[in-house]
Amino acid sequence: MNIKQLKYFQILAKNQHYTYTSEYFSISQPSLSHAIAELEKEVGIKLFQKKGRNVELTKEGEQYLLYVNQALQSLNEGEQFIKELTSISHGHIRLAFVYSLCMGYVPKIIKAFTSLPEYKNISFSFYEDLSANIVQELKSKRYDIGLCSYLHDDPEIEFTRLAKQEIVFIISNEHPLSKRKKLDLKDIANEPVILYTERSGMKGYLDSIISESGVKLTNVVSHVESENAMIGLVSINYGIGMMINVPVPEQANVSLIPMNKNRQKREIYVATVKNRPLMPVAQKFYRFLTQYCGDSFFNN
């Protein structure tokens, strides 16, 4: 048994015709018939049966095809992996990032990276997720690189500081406080407030800010995982939020107001798995991120 025989079998099962299949592979029909006969002899079952001028899979052949499809797909994926492993100009990168980066920062990064001629043939898959999930999926090999918050209790992940995002208040334009240039936590102490959930990497940052201020927020009405959810709730004047400064649609009818004292910022990190070398294309992207996409890039 060899790979050619399996490919012949796969395409013959699809075409159900020896002539069409032999033309597909540019071989003679007797050569194809011989290859299939040898395969049937080796596996010990009849794979095809005649149906008029065509052929069709036997019941055993149908089951065998499932395994052949899986095997050939794995081989194709292996070939693609080897190509990416040795190429610095072609390949695919699986990039995960927290929700707050999807509306401005990540598109800006990708535009800058792919505009370089040597990287124009590199493709991406993008995933929005929570920091904790990003870290777990990095370890499970679903993602190559993550952009997320720093998680203190994970020794398997390498965190490299990238940039800072300002934390602001978000408030409905219908609220009296929306006219203010700046706000303090004490200004919203008795207002309905929207914060991040326990699963969000932002929760720790906000908890520290609130704790250090000495202000007690007496009316926390909701917790959300993403900025989009917070913008939606604030737009109906459900509460005042504290979130990352991200682009907000004009139709949302909300205002972003800086903190009055010591503007607070959340740090964004590039996350990769320790002791697991990145493929060349991912390594190039990692270097691009760490060398060119810091605070100055982020804030321009």
Q: Are residues 261 and 274 in the same domain?
A: no
Q: Are residues 283 and 243 in the same domain?
A: no
Q: Are residues 143 and 271 in the same domain?
A: yes
User: Quick check: 134 pLDDT over 90?
Assistant: yes
CA dist., res. 212 & res. 261, Å (int): 12
- CB neighbours of residue 179 within 10 Å: 10
What average pLDDT score do residues 104-114 get?
Answer: 91
% of the chain beyond a pLDDT of 70: 96
Q: Are residues 272 and 155 in the same domain?
A: yes
What average pLDDT score do residues 175-203 get?
Answer: 92
Q: Are residues 174 and 125 in the same domain?
A: no
DSSP, residue by residue, 124-179: EEEEE--HHHHHHHHHTTS-SEEEE---TT-TTEEEEEEEEEEEEEEEETTSGGGG
Reported as a pLDDT band with limits 50, 70 and 90, residue 88 is low
pLDDT of residue 62: 95
Question: What does the block give as tokens for 165?
Answer: 């995002």
Question: What does the block give as tokens for 296?
Answer: 């100055």
Residue pLDDT, tens place only, 207-265: 888 998 899 999 999 999 889 999 999 999 999 999 988 888 888 999 999 987 666 78
pLDDT of residue 178: 94
Reported as a pLDDT band with limits 50, 70 and 90, residue 121 is confident
Q: Which of 86, 109, 134 is the last residue of a domain?
A: 86
Q: Which of 26, 59, 86 is the last residue of a domain?
A: 86
pLDDT of residue 81: 72
The count of structural domains within the chain is 3
Q: Which range of residues forms the domain containing residue 280?
A: 91-162+267-299
Q: Are residues 258 and 275 in the same domain?
A: no
Mean pLDDT of the chain: 90
Q: Which residues contact 148 (CB under 8 A, 6 or more apart)?
A: 96, 97, 98, 131, 134, 135, 201, 268, 269, 271
Q: Are residues 63 and 193 in the same domain?
A: no
In one-letter notation, the amino acid at residue 79 is E
pTM: 0.65
Q: Which of 46-50, 124-128, 261-265 has the lowest mean pLDDT?
A: 261-265
Q: Are residues 15 and 65 in the same domain?
A: yes
Q: Are residues 67 and 192 in the same domain?
A: no
Q: Which of 52, 86, 120 is the last residue of a domain?
A: 86
CA dist., res. 218 & res. 210, Å (int): 12
Q: Are residues 119 and 181 in the same domain?
A: no
Q: Are residues 100 and 120 in the same domain?
A: yes
CATH number of residue 110's parent domain? 3.40.190.10
Q: Are residues 95 and 58 in the same domain?
A: no
